[in-house]
């Protein structure tokens, strides 16, 4: 039998996703759904207000009746990977709500748009110090993912969103992500043409980390040049440019930055720079670069006893749950209404203690310990130890403001 808090929020899981079950008809009492932020084939993303705290969140509403077998597998991998990856530069997943007809993913809401729109407002590209700042944060996020054996496979500026008040960028949209085993090749061809590595477009089996590195090269090129390196009049011409690795970098870009881009945009994945090599590259690794600093993640284990006690008291007095249910949900690192409420209150407290951004604000105009289990193609579980830090997701950055040029060529047995 599932344990319930005072507001009827069960703390159990469903479908291997650790989702809260039984919310049909109750979502409106927990979250006030507001404006639509974007639509996809089987999902809609809405801005919402967490009723108890008043905090804004993004809610991805997935119509389960529109999911085919392949879509279900991608959705499972998305939720699985976003629960595993817990990093300050990855959008946070607060809660998974599973109902008879819909799946709700409650996500951290970005307040500054996405990196693509920001780049498009800078025709000649960003200044190199600014590009270095944002690129460094993306590298940190992907490096963390790869250490947990998670490959993103759809890295692009549209999937990097700004958190203006915090002064950071965060990675989102793990719809094509998957677990990988070092040394073993993946088979699925997926992603967006202009950002895809040659080996994916050829339909070859490929080394997972290397395809993300290629996409990072495209992103850095766009940051400093203001346009994509491989974006021709039609897909056929774009494909040819990618295969030939033909691109022209603007003259204003420094030689050091050009060299780093050239180390990533290499057709042979074995000659492509690794993430460790990128992080230590002279252009990126500079004394004053914020890539070496870590922003805090909110964890009940790292909150002061006073702050923790105040949040517990507020939730119990607000009839959200009992103290026992709250502590149990936190210990189990669950993704339910109880933990969502707790972490939203904790983040509000953190913001009040750190009102100033830790990095340069974005102008509007212009590790938790994780136990890695042996790779198993049929393993549908994730084991984490003592993180108790909510994780990530594909969130508002997935807003479908631009068409996604994605191709799923084959879907073989990877880490499903």
- Residues belonging to the active site: 154
Handedness of CA 151, 273, 223, 124 (dihedral sign): negative
Which two three-digit tokens encode residue 257? Answer: 């930055």
DSSP string, 374-408: PP-TT-------S---------GGG--SS---B--
> Helices 323-331 and 305-317, interaxial angle, to 10°?
130
Q: Given the DSSP bridges, would you call strands 43-50 and 56-63 parallel, antiparallel or unpaired?
A: antiparallel
Closest CA to 413 of 208, 207, 178: 178
Lookup result for tokens 């748009």:
113
Cβ(394)–Cβ(404) below 8 Å: no
What letter would DSSP give residue 212? H
Q: How far is CA 360 from the centre of its chain?
A: 21
Give Dmax (Cα) for the chain. 66
Tokens 């084959």 label which residue?
410
């Amino acid at each position: 039998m599932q344990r319930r808090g005072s507001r009827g929020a069960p703390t159990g899981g469903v479908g291997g996703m650790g989702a809260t079950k039984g919310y049909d008809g109750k979502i409106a009492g927990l979250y006030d759904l507001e404006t639509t932020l974007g639509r996809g084939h089987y999902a809609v993303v809405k801005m919402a207000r967490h009723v108890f705290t008043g905090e804004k969140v993004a809610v991805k509403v997935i119509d389960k009746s529109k999911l085919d077998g392949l879509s279900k597998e991608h959705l499972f991998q998305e939720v699985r990977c976003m629960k595993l990856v817990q990093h300050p530069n990855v959008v946070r997943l607060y809660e998974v709500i599973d109902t008879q007809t819909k799946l709700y993913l409650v996500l951290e809401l970005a307040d500054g748009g996405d990196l693509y729109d920001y780049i498009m407002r800078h025709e000649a590209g960003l200044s190199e110090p600014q590009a270095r700042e944002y690129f460094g944060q993306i590298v940190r996020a992907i490096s963390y993912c790869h250490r947990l054996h998670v490959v993103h496979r759809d890295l692009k500026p549209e999937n990097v969103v700004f958190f203006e008040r915090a002064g950071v960028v965060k990675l989102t949209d793990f719809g094509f992500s998957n677990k990988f085993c070092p040394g073993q090749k993946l088979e699925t061809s997926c992603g967006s043409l202009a950002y895809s590595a040659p080996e994916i477009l050829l339909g070859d089996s490929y080394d997972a980390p290397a395809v993300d590195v290629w996409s990072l090269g495209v992103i850095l090129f766009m940051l400093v040049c203001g346009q994509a390196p491989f974006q021709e009049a039609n897909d056929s011409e774009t494909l040819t440019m990618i295969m030939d690795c033909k691109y022209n970098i603007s003259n204003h870009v420094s030689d050091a930055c050009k060299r780093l881009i050239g180390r990533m945009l290499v057709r042979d994945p074995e000659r492509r720079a690794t993430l460790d090599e990128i992080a230590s590259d002279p252009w990126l690794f500079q004394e004053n670069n914020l890539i070496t600093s870590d922003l805090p993640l909110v964890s009940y284990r790292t909150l002061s006893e006073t702050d923790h006690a105040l949040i517990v008291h507020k939730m119990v007095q607000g009839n959200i749950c009992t103290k026992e249910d709250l502590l149990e949900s936190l210990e189990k690192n669950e993704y339910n209404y109880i933990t969502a409420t707790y972490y939203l209150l904790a983040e509000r407290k953190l913001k009040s203690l750190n009102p100033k951004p830790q990095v340069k604000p974005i102008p509007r105009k212009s590790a938790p310990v994780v136990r890695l289990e042996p790779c198993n193609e049929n393993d549908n579980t994730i084991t984490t130890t003592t993180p108790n830090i909510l994780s990530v997701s594909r969130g508002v950055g997935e807003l479908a403001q631009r068409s996604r040029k994605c191709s799923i060529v084959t879907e073989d047995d990877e880490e499903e």
